[in-house]
Amino acid sequence: MRYAHGVTISALLTLVIFLGAAIIKILALSWDIYVTWFFISILIAIVPPILIYIARRRIVREFLIYETGGFGLFSPLWLILFTDLSGDSWTTLFRDGIIGGLIGPGIGPSIVPIDIRSDFVLPILILCVIIGIIFLRPSFIAKHGVRGEMAEFRELKKSAEPEVKTKPQALEEGEESEEDPIEKEMPEVTPPLATADAMADLRGLLTELGTPEPTINLIFNSGIATTTELVATSPEQLASITGIDKRTAEDLHMAVQKRVWFGGI
């Protein structure tokens, strides 16, 4: 899931929830309608992750992070905005609290409104914003949004512990005992190694080009760990192995080539 798509979806979910509550308040609709919308709002938050889990289970964790961060970051914004648009100044939130914002069981089978005291509103809003900022950080999503060990760390382990084959082992596996003709002609030319420095250089280059963090992680997870490997990969291959669209892959590939060959000219 692209970063912009995830943030937009999370913002729209909270927008729909608070917009519905604001419309009910502006039109002075009955309490029963607000209770109904309260439960619908819960479904709006719960149903999308369930659908994502059924359709694309691989990204459900990433979607949950986006949704949690979006609810944290955008809920205070929509609450303040729609409170002002519904006729009350947003300052009443901090003076009077949120009157009837929650629902709870009353005496018997009835449902009654529950107020949020003013001295709780500000700490809750600040906590929501902090959670939103933490969860919507690209580095946080890249670290916790994908299950299992990231490919770039596996590559680092492989480069740190290279496998050394003895000559008998090579012969047992059917490998040529003679020296490779290419290595014989160009003994000092070696393939690029996925070292920590090489991977850091590639990440720095992609970051300078404005590549989103999730896309950078897709590139590393596909097995591309050095700038040389990225330049040697065609846009079609890049789009195929990373899952990004072909146009984005072409633009990224061209930008990397210009930066490597011409210094960004």
Cα–Cα distance, 99 to 155 (Å, whole number) = 55
Whether the Cβ atoms of residue 102 and residue 159 lie closer than 8 Å to each other = no
Confidence of residue 191 (pLDDT cuts 50, 70, 90): low
Name the band, by pLDDT with cuts 50, 70 and 90, for residue 21.
very high
- For the chain, give the mean pLDDT: 81
- pLDDT tens readout for residues 156-175: 445 544 454 444 444 454 44
- Tokens linked to 261: 């060959």
pLDDT tens by residue, 137-161: 988 887 887 654 444 444 544 554 4
Based on the fold, state whether residues 139 and 166 are members of the same structural domain: no
With pLDDT > 70 as the criterion, what percentage of the chain qualifies?
Answer: 80
The stretch 241-250 carries a mean pLDDT of 80
Last residue of a domain, one of 144, 173, 201: 144
Q: Are residues 158 and 229 in the same domain?
A: yes
Q: Which residues pair with 116 in a beta bridge?
A: 98
Alpha helices by DSSP H, the chain: 3-26, 31-55, 60-85, 92-96, 118-135, 138-144, 151-160, 167-172, 181-185, 196-208, 213-221, 227-232, 235-242, 246-262
**What range does the domain containing 112 cover?**
3-144
Identity at 88, one-letter amino acid code: D
What are the start-end ranges of the H helices in 136-195? 138-144, 151-160, 167-172, 181-185
Tens-digit pLDDT profile for residues 39-98: 999 999 999 999 999 998 888 999 999 999 999 999 999 999 999 998 888 899 998 999
Mean of pLDDT values over 119-148: 88
Please tell me the total count of domains within the chain: 2
* Domain end position, chosen among 109, 125, 144: 144
Of 101, 121, 144, which residue sits at a domain end?
144
Instruction: Tell me, yes or no, whether 109 and 188 share the same domain.
Output: no
pLDDT at 146: 65
User: Would you say residue 182 has pLDDT above 90?
Assistant: no
